[in-house]
């Protein structure tokens, strides 16, 4: 029995729940400022233009030069850091697209549920390119000051993403015999 496989199912929901609790706590604190009226548009542009298309001009316009981006891959600083995070995604996945849902606004925070799709064409978490089509859901909390993003927390289930890549690699390496049903077990 591979206990590591089962531990993934426990850790990932815990991480997601922890992020939701963190979001609730952050949103319950009464901030001094409010998110700009176009925060939903800015959030969508961050995912579409900055992460999806790697448009650093848009990043410079909507992300503060000293912003802090907290991601599962580490922390990145400023709009240049947003570009580095986008590059790390592009190095691992091609055909990357993001679909965002309507953000929830509270004070200077916007919470954005999102889904990323792409094709695994580069090294990701030590896994060689497999050509797997992947889809992962995540949550981002963006903090605004005036008209720019000054801090952002991004979370998603990296282990589910790894499972998709591993499953594709396993099926891809399998011949016709291993795909035949074996009957009742």
DSSP strands (E only) in 101-132: 104-106, 109-120
Q: Binning pLDDT at 50, 70 and 90, where does residue 22 land?
A: low
Residue 156, pLDDT above cutoff 70: yes
Partner residues linked to 119 by β-bridges: 94, 133
For the chain, give the mean pLDDT.
82
pLDDT at 133 over 70: yes
Instruction: Please compute Rg for the chain using Cα positions.
Output: 19
Mean pLDDT of 154-183: 77
Gap between the Cα atoms of 41 and 47, Å rounded: 10
What is the distance, to the nearest Å, from the Cα of residue 52 to the centroid of all Cα atoms in its chain? Answer: 11
> Domain 3-175, CATH 2.30.40.10 — does that match?
no
| pTM recorded for the entire structure | 0.74
Neighbours of 155 (CB within 10 A): 19
Query: Distance between CA 112 and CA 154 in Å, rounded?
Result: 9
Provide the pLDDT for residue 28: 57
Instruction: Give the integer Cα–Cα distance in Å for 138 and 142.
Output: 13
Average pLDDT over residues 126-133: 89
List the chain domain ranges. 3-175
């Amino acid at each position: 029995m591979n206990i590591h496989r089962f531990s993934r199912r426990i850790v990932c929901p815990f991480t997601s729940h922890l992020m939701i609790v963190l979001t609730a706590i952050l949103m319950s604190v009464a901030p001094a400022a409010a998110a700009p009226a176009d925060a939903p548009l800015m959030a969508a542009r961050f995912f579409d233009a900055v992460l999806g298309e790697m448009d650093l001009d848009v990043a410079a316009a909507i992300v503060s030069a000293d912003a802090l981006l907290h991601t599962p891959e580490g922390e990145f600083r400023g709009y240049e850091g947003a570009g580095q995070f986008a590059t790390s995604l592009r190095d691992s996945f091609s055909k990357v697209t993001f679909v965002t849902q309507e953000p929830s606004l509270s004070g200077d925070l916007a919470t954005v549920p999102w889904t990323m799709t792409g094709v695994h064409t580069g090294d990701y978490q030590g896994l060689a390119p497999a050509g797997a089509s992947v889809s992962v859901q995540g949550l981002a909390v963006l903090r605004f000051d005036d008209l720019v993003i000054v801090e952002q927390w991004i979370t998603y289930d990296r282990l589910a993403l790894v499972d998709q890549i591993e499953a594709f690699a396993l099926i891809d390496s399998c011949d016709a015999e291993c795909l035949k049903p074996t009957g009742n077990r």
